[in-house]
Structure 1
Amino acid sequence: MTDIVSEESGAMPGKTGQRAIPGTGRRTLTIARSALLLAAALVVCLGAMMAVGLQLMRGMDAVADGWRDYDLQAATKSDALSEVRGHLGLGGVIDHFREGNRTSAGDHAALDRSLALARANLAIYRDMVTPSEDEARAIAAIAAFLDAIQVQMEDPAAAIPDEAFDACRRDAVKGLAALNSHLSAQRARLTAATLNDIEDLQRLMAVGGGIIAVLVLGLAGAAVWFTRSRIVGPLGRLVEDARRLARRDLDRPFQSSDWGRGKRLGSDARHGGFRHDELGLLGRSLEDSRIALRDLFAAIEEKSRRLGESERRYAMAAAAANDGLWDWDLESGDLYLSPRLRQMLHLPADGGEPGIAALLAHVHPDDRHAVLAAIRQGEQGADGASFDVEFRVLPPDGARKDGEKDAIGWLHLHGIVAAGPDGRVARLAGSAADVSERKSYEARLVHQATHDFLTGLPNRAYLIRWLGERQAVQGTGRRDLALLFLDLDGFKVVNDSLGHAVGDRVLIATAERIAGLLEPGEFVVRLGGDEFVIAVPTGQESAIARAQALETVFQRPLCAGGMELRVGLSIGLAVDDGTSDDPDSLLRDADIALYRAKEHGKGRTVLFDASLREAILIRSRLQRDLTPSLEAGDIFLVYQPIVSLPDGRLTGFEALVRWRHPDLGLVSPAQFIPIAEETGQILPLGRHVLERAVEQLGRWRRMAGGAALTVNVNLSARQMWDERYVDDMLDYLADGRADGLKIEVTESMTVADHDQARTILERFHALGVALCMDDFGTGYSSLSHLGSLPFDVMKIDKSFVSALGSDPRQESLLRGIVELAHRIGLKVVAEGVETEEERAVLTGIGCDYAQGYLFARPLSVADAEALLSTAA
């Protein structure tokens, strides 16, 4: 048998070859070696048995040879000795010789024959074996006696004396006795030797047999032990291990792993308990198989567990998501719908698998084409492609009225494509989700996106979409639509003074009042803030009538928050002339008309015409060209003088900005300043004005020899509330440039955030910049604000001055304003003085300064310098 154990390690379990004992360098007794040892032991036993047997055979042969030699020699000697004794004994030669019967020839011949026979037998005795000394002497004595007889028979004369003859005879008899004794002694010795040999052979048989028996019994016991402990027992355990392997009882180590006496640590620890022989290798293979199968089954169980958890999660997720599942085998035509999908489609739970036709019967007719298109897309798609479609679901057949097509829900169908081995689409599968809530939410979002949250009216997006849809349906040539663009007059005052909550109630009440005046087919839209638009599909006449009704109804106060508030309406009216391709153009025209209504004093309706569009185009161009003109130097300053009323002395100028457009000519500040305010261009424009005015003031003061000449510069709201702009402005003025500069701020600018306005104004005041409240009397005329802010000068608006000739009470009002200003430490400047009468009244009531056309129009730099030279 091939040796499978070597000093090299690393053989894989279950693979025939050499394998080392882990951690040792000695060889292990394998089954093959055990068999060789048993065979060697058997050979030893057989050798011992053969040795003993050969020894017994040799002993028996020796005994047999001894007796055979003895029988051959002793018999011959005995026979020869018997013949000799017979010839010499009674009736023999001696008897004949004694009887004297020697005379007859017969006797003599018989005597010779007896002597010859005696000599011959004696010679035979002597020649059988080399005689011993005793035998030689006995043979010599007998031979001598026979010779004596022979001599006496042949020559009696030569015969020896009787005494000598008797002595010779006695010697012969003694010799015969000696030879006979020798034969007896030889037999006794042979018998004794034979008995000894037999005893030796018996001992050899006993000892050798015992040894052989012990060897045989030991060999048999070793064979039985080896067979039971090394083969039968391990095989039984291996069989049990194999059965456990078949039963998948893999948690406990196999019984085979208990064969060894010790446990090893390290990388080979799991094999430390196995014998290192063929069955041990098989046991290790089974243990490796157990571990591998245990790990494999554990991995399979883990994967199964994860798969089960995944399926449970998927099922729970599908249940939580309230989704349905579907699977359509295109080859067999089988269509599977999960119970949830059946429920969503209002199909019976046990009605069998429906076909596509039955499925489509529950789809809203308007959506069936989209569903079929999605399915065709899937049938023509590639493996792994997906498709989606959303459709409405009809109510169950029993709950559906004849001809009823109202949907009761929305489904989102998602599908994926699976191709077969031939590459063709084999099945479609996917999920279906009830998206009714999402659709409802989307509808709400669409409603919220197209309707105003506060009033519930449609909003600008709704109006634009409606105008676009109308234009797409009717095309050109339509002249039956008018838009009324409404804006509330005075709403900002209400909102700022009474709060946004009251403002919201005003907007709601306005929406309700407008909606109550509309005819069928008309609708109102809130664009935002206090702007509304009414769509009148019946043309210009109806729109004008609606505008007149609105003007009338808004003459009555609105009830909001328990208060009656009066707000007016400014209306811009635009009629669709069928020439525009832009849905926004009609709305833009109405907005332009509204802008003109606001410009002309509010509370009126203006019908849009082409001239208004031209004006708005000019406005857009001014907005576009303002910054380039500022960089090109087309924007410049003029200076209107400010004089002291008591003595007519020139005290300063107000810097006013002008724009000489290269194409449009001189543009009024009333046109471009609001544009600059709206677009933020007022910031660079205001910085330009400030820097030019400060530079000019410095030159003039040097020309006047350091006289206290001043220049007023207007500060807009956009400039004032920009912190970075204010910081840069103050940094610029900090380097001695503030001397003689006055900043004019309107009263309304301080109302929105009184504390912040005071903080900003105090920063200017701390720098030495005088502050003027401009246009006093046109805003809130809040005396509390006036007293708490660091103003130095108050400028009375020209509307108060121009009213002096028409209203006798105006003089008293101006007198009160001047006295109030003086009491709180303010100087007063009257604006817009154009007549001597106005000058006289202002001087009489104590007004400090004045400016207007009476003294001078705004002057260029050269004219202003000429005036300074004259005044000096």
Structure 2
Amino acid sequence: MTDTVSEDSGAMPGMVPQAMPRAGAEAGRRTLTIARSALLLAAALVVGLAVMLAVGLQLMRGMDAVADGWRDYDLQAATKSDALSEVRGHLGLGGVIDHYREGTRDGAAGHASLDRALALARANLAIYRDIVTPSEDEARAIAAIAAFLDAIQVQMEDPAAAIPAEAFDACRRDAVKGLSSLNSHLSAQRAQLTAATLNDIEALQRLMAVGGAVVAALVLGLAGAAVWFTRSRIVGPLGRLVEDARRLARRDLDRPFLGGGRRGGSGARVGGFYHDELGLLGRSLEDSRVALRDLFAAIDEKTRRLGESERRYAMAAAAANDGLWDWDLDSGDLYLSPRLRQMLHLPADGGEPGLAALLAHVHPDDRHAVLAAIREGEQGADGASFDVEFRVLPPGRGQEDAGQENGWQDNGVEGGTGWLHLHGIVAAGPDGRVARLAGSAADVSDRKSYEARLVHQATHDFLTRLPNRAYLVRWLHDRQAGAQDTGRSDLALLFLDLDGFKVVNDSLGHAVGDRVLVAAAERIAGLLGPGEFVARLGGDEFVVAIPAGQEEAIARARALEIAFQRPLCAGGMDLRVGLSIGLAVDDGTGDDPDSLLRDADIALYRAKEHGKGRTVLFDASLREAILIRSRLQRDLTPSLEAGDIFLVYQPIVSLPDGRLTGFEALVRWRHPDLGLVSPAQFIPIAEETGQILPLGRHVLERAVEQLARWRGMAGGAALTVNVNLSARQMWDERYVDDMLDFLADGRAEGLKIEVTESMTVNDHDQARAILERFQALGVALCMDDFGTGYSSLSHLGRLPFDVLKIDKSFISALGTDPRQESLLRGIVELAHRIGLEVVAEGIETEQERTVLTGIGCDYAQGYLFARPLSVADAEALLLAAGRP
């Protein structure tokens, strides 16, 4: 043993071992320890067990000997007794002697019985003789009996050789004595065996008494030694150790422990303990007391400093607006600062909540994100950070309401619901495993509210508060993404346009127009069912989303049409606006969500083309039409540059004399793939896309160029060419300036510009100013398609028109309506009274020509005179008419 306690001495880790004097170490080596005492007790116990085993074995051997003797006796004596009894029986009454006597009288039968009796007597005598080697007396008795049996045998077989009667009687008496001798021998043998057995039993009893006394003495000695050893070496020291442990638990560390302050004079006991394991434990407790006293003193000092630091931390945390949290992963303790408890609507004195209780206050839709962030932290490296934002349920809404949150939607800042931004860092333990997570939580409800307002403003119409195009497109995209996971569901879009809204807006002002839009939005929204919503795309266009099939969507469209047959109240006025609806149903063939909206827009366009105030269902033919429309739009400008767009000329003749007076220039398009394209197809496309501007300039330049050539051929004769001016051209100020500059160089002679009546309605004064600029250049002005617009006579009187062209629809009705002639007569007379010439369009029959000539119409054009002609055909017609 060294001067210090070794590692296997049981000293507590971290305790400072006390030095042990060498004399004590020597005494410790000579002192009987608990382990050595246990070995001695075990050895004594082994000795006792050995003694008990020896005594037991000796007893077993003695008992086995007695048992073996009696078994041998039982086997031999029983066999001998049985054999002797049989011999006696075969010799006595009914035996050999009786059969011998009867055999002398009965002859052969008696001899047979005697032979059997002799044989049985000899057999049993042989059994007695053979069971064990007989003694001399037994051998003589057996010989006498056998001699008697032989004498009888000889006497029966050969009477001549028989012994004398006296000898026979003597032989019989010897046999009887032999039987008596054998009986006596068996009785003596039983007596000897009984005496020997009694002697053996007395010896075994003496052995049991002596051995039991020895074993009892050993057991009592071992028990006494164990009791003494237990009390003096274990119970007593353990009591002192328990008291020392209690003092250690009470932190009573100022006084030495019972095992640390006293030393025996003999050196065998130190501090009330022997130099054994318990003594070593006692001394270790004393060493621990000293070390813990110093340690607690240092801890108290650190605690004092830590308390001051915690007070400063608590003051700083209370002053901060953010909440703090700390989660010990090993113990599961989760600390939340008072501010964070307030943010989570947790009671201030409710104890530390577990993770499940904390998640119960998180919005159900955000719990997965919070758990994912925590799992990320648990798997992170030391010093790593993580962030997550989530909504907190209002007070009174907890986990029991989680099942009711599926349909609950809010922006996270209304109804007491707030947003928290949780920041955390990861701290690893000495083993590198994540031991704790800690961080802060900030209330970001104001920021989320501001973001929600921005999102709402970006996705909702400011005027009607309805979702806008951005919201609708995003909703369609989200729905398509969801449909890929859950399967496609029915969806229909109603694309709505208010008929007549432009007139209301232009005539009554934008303020009234805005009220009309708000009233229309409220009326549309009031007719929608669950799951349906309406969005405003801009202007007077709305889209209704219906999560249903075609039949339900058509029924909803019909209900909307009926609802808009009633006037809308706006600005104290009842205003009537119609409704045109384009309906598209999702059939699953669209590649992107925007295609359904585009299909509904196409159907709306077709509804407005067919007279407005109706619903048109989109189908494949409309898609084909829009594809063609798209290609025409794409190919219009290249075809214009390639010369695929050209002019034809329809003659205009004087009705009274049939003289050719001019032409109307009409544009045509010969598409390289689609063939001849009608102006009714590509002119509206050009109007919408703005391509009408270069197209109109091309028509004007070609027409003016052709007019100059023809007038040159006719020697300056009064030949005219009419060119149509579209609304897009007329209201483009820069375009009008360029066109007037082009015509100012003498190109306006003989040119007539045709303008439709409706083009002048929106801004009458501006229209008059533009037309007067053309008139100043000498360009004649024609009001085209009179009768299809407003047919306002006031317009005719105030605008500088020179010619009035009656629409073909009036001419075609001559044959079906008797009153049509009177109407045409009135139009012609009114036009003449205000100084206008009249041209009738669409003359196709001689009857129509005759009527129009009779009512005084000045000019006419139509298939009756000629179809639109190419340049060559027009020149041929001029030559035929003698104009050149």
TM-score clears 0.5: yes
| Alignment partners' CA distance in 2, 1:569 and 1:600 | 13
Does 1:703 pair with 2:724? no
| Alignment partners' CA distance in 1, 2:853 and 2:495 | 48
Secondary structure of 2:623's match? helix
Are 1:378 and 1:415, in contact at CA under 8 Å, matched by a contact in 2?
no
Q: Among 745, 754, 757, which residue is 1:744 paired with?
A: 754
Deviation (angstroms), 1:583: 2.1
The aligned counterpart of 1:589 is 599
Deviation (angstroms), 1:692: 0.8
Q: Among 319, 322, 325, which residue is 1:324 paired with?
A: 322
The aligned counterpart of 2:629 is 619
Deviation (angstroms), 1:616: 1.2
| Structure 2 letter corresponding to 1:594 | L
| Alignment partners' CA distance in 2, 1:709 and 1:381 | 92
| Alignment partners' CA distance in 2, 1:831 and 1:575 | 42
Secondary structure of 2:723's match? strand
Q: Among 833, 839, 850, which residue is 1:823 paired with?
A: 833
| Structure 2 letter corresponding to 1:364 | H
Secondary structure of 2:612's match? coil
| Alignment partners' CA distance in 1, 2:392 and 2:561 | 50
| Structure 1 letter corresponding to 2:686 | A
Q: Among 835, 850, 856, which residue is 1:846 paired with?
A: 856
| Structure 1 letter corresponding to 2:684 | P
Q: Among 788, 794, 805, which residue is 2:815 paired with?
A: 805
Q: Structure 1's 656 and 535: CA in aligned 2 closer, same or farther, altered over 3 A?
A: same
Q: Among 404, 409, 423, which residue is 2:417 paired with?
A: 409
| Alignment partners' CA distance in 2, 1:540 and 1:403 | 38
The aligned counterpart of 1:436 is 445
Q: Residues 727-766 of structure 1: matches in 2 within 5 Å?
A: 727-766=737-776
Are 1:743 and 1:769, in contact at CA under 8 Å, matched by a contact in 2?
yes
Q: Structure 1's 862 and 431: CA in aligned 2 closer, same or farther, altered over 3 A?
A: farther
Q: Structure 1's 779 and 386: CA in aligned 2 closer, same or farther, altered over 3 A?
A: farther
Q: Residues 488-507 of structure 1: matches in 2 within 5 Å?
A: 488-507=498-517
- Runs of 5+ unmatched residues, structure 1: 1-314
Q: Among 645, 664, 681, which residue is 1:654 paired with?
A: 664
1:269-302 CA-to-partner distances (Å, cap 9, x unmatched) read xxxxxxxxxxxxxxxxxxxxxxxxxxxxxxxxxx
1:327-386 CA-to-partner distances (Å, cap 9, x unmatched) read 869999999977655543345668899898876564335434433544666788899987
| Alignment partners' CA distance in 1, 2:351 and 2:576 | 72
- Runs of 5+ unmatched residues, structure 2: 1-315, 406-411
Does 1:364 pair with 2:363? yes
Pick the structure with greater CA Rg: 1
| Alignment partners' CA distance in 1, 2:668 and 2:643 | 11
| Alignment partners' CA distance in 2, 1:323 and 1:643 | 91
Q: Among 649, 674, 684, which residue is 1:639 paired with?
A: 649
| Alignment partners' CA distance in 1, 2:374 and 2:489 | 46
| Alignment partners' CA distance in 2, 1:485 and 1:357 | 49
The aligned counterpart of 1:393 is 392
Are 1:450 and 1:462, in contact at CA under 8 Å, matched by a contact in 2?
yes
| Alignment partners' CA distance in 2, 1:769 and 1:386 | 80
The aligned counterpart of 1:691 is 701
Q: Structure 1's 413 and 645: CA in aligned 2 closer, same or farther, altered over 3 A?
A: same
Are 2:754 and 2:784, in contact at CA under 8 Å, matched by a contact in 1?
yes
Secondary structure of 1:802's match? helix
Are 2:647 and 2:668, in contact at CA under 8 Å, matched by a contact in 1?
yes
The aligned counterpart of 1:345 is 344
The aligned counterpart of 2:735 is 725
Secondary structure of 1:804's match? helix
Are 1:479 and 1:578, in contact at CA under 8 Å, matched by a contact in 2?
no
| Alignment partners' CA distance in 2, 1:384 and 1:683 | 67
1:667-720 CA-to-partner distances (Å, cap 9, x unmatched) read 011100111111111111111111111111111010111112111111112122
Q: Residues 75-94 of structure 1: matches in 2 within 5 Å?
A: none
Q: Structure 1's 483 and 335: CA in aligned 2 closer, same or farther, altered over 3 A?
A: closer
The aligned counterpart of 2:787 is 777
Q: Structure 1's 384 and 853: CA in aligned 2 closer, same or farther, altered over 3 A?
A: farther
| Structure 1 letter corresponding to 2:812 | S
Q: Structure 1's 868 and 583: CA in aligned 2 closer, same or farther, altered over 3 A?
A: same
Are 2:488 and 2:588, in contact at CA under 8 Å, matched by a contact in 1?
yes
Q: Structure 1's 506 and 361: CA in aligned 2 closer, same or farther, altered over 3 A?
A: closer
| Alignment partners' CA distance in 2, 1:433 and 1:772 | 74
1:607-666 CA-to-partner distances (Å, cap 9, x unmatched) read 332222111111111111111111111100011112222322222111111000111111
Q: Structure 1's 609 and 796: CA in aligned 2 closer, same or farther, altered over 3 A?
A: same
1:209-243 CA-to-partner distances (Å, cap 9, x unmatched) read xxxxxxxxxxxxxxxxxxxxxxxxxxxxxxxxxxx
Q: Higher mean Cα deviation, 482-491 or 633-642? A: 482-491
Q: Residues 247-326 of structure 1: matches in 2 within 5 Å?
A: 323-324=321-322, 326=324
**Would you say how many aligned residue pairs link Structure 1 and Structure 2?**
555
Q: Structure 1's 343 and 536: CA in aligned 2 closer, same or farther, altered over 3 A?
A: closer
1:743-782 CA-to-partner distances (Å, cap 9, x unmatched) read 2222222222333323322322222222222222222333
Q: Structure 1's 698 and 338: CA in aligned 2 closer, same or farther, altered over 3 A?
A: farther
Q: Structure 1's 531 and 357: CA in aligned 2 closer, same or farther, altered over 3 A?
A: closer
| Alignment partners' CA distance in 1, 2:370 and 2:325 | 15
Secondary structure of 1:815's match? helix
Q: Structure 1's 479 and 606: CA in aligned 2 closer, same or farther, altered over 3 A?
A: farther
The aligned counterpart of 1:275 is none
Taking structure 2 as the reference length, the TM-score comes to 0.55
Are 1:324 and 1:337, in contact at CA under 8 Å, matched by a contact in 2?
no
| Alignment partners' CA distance in 2, 1:749 and 1:846 | 28
The aligned counterpart of 1:88 is none
1:711-738 CA-to-partner distances (Å, cap 9, x unmatched) read 1111112122222222222222222212
Q: Structure 1's 789 and 433: CA in aligned 2 closer, same or farther, altered over 3 A?
A: farther
Does 1:472 pair with 2:481? yes
| Structure 1 letter corresponding to 2:607 | A
| Alignment partners' CA distance in 1, 2:634 and 2:397 | 65
| Alignment partners' CA distance in 2, 1:666 and 1:373 | 65
Q: Structure 1's 788 and 329: CA in aligned 2 closer, same or farther, altered over 3 A?
A: same
The aligned counterpart of 1:672 is 682
Are 1:478 and 1:577, in contact at CA under 8 Å, matched by a contact in 2?
no
The aligned counterpart of 2:239 is none
Q: Among 828, 843, 847, which residue is 1:837 paired with?
A: 847
| Alignment partners' CA distance in 1, 2:355 and 2:825 | 94
Are 2:633 and 2:686, in contact at CA under 8 Å, matched by a contact in 1?
yes
Q: Structure 1's 481 and 347: CA in aligned 2 closer, same or farther, altered over 3 A?
A: closer
The aligned counterpart of 2:308 is none
| Alignment partners' CA distance in 2, 1:627 and 1:668 | 16
Deviation (angstroms), 1:387: 5.3
Secondary structure of 1:803's match? helix
% of aligned pairs identical? 86
The aligned counterpart of 1:60 is none
1:144-196 CA-to-partner distances (Å, cap 9, x unmatched) read xxxxxxxxxxxxxxxxxxxxxxxxxxxxxxxxxxxxxxxxxxxxxxxxxxxxx
Secondary structure of 1:627's match? helix
Q: Higher mean Cα deviation, 852-861 or 447-456? A: 447-456
| Alignment partners' CA distance in 1, 2:491 and 2:466 | 19
| Structure 2 letter corresponding to 1:705 | G
Secondary structure of 1:735's match? coil
Are 2:341 and 2:348, in contact at CA under 8 Å, matched by a contact in 1?
yes
Taking structure 1 as the reference length, the TM-score comes to 0.56
| Alignment partners' CA distance in 1, 2:696 and 2:509 | 32
The aligned counterpart of 1:169 is none
Are 2:419 and 2:448, in contact at CA under 8 Å, matched by a contact in 1?
no
| Structure 1 letter corresponding to 2:369 | A
| Structure 2 letter corresponding to 1:779 | G
Q: Residues 506-525 of structure 1: matches in 2 within 5 Å?
A: 506-525=516-535
The aligned counterpart of 2:797 is 787
Secondary structure of 1:389's match? strand
| Structure 2 letter corresponding to 1:772 | C
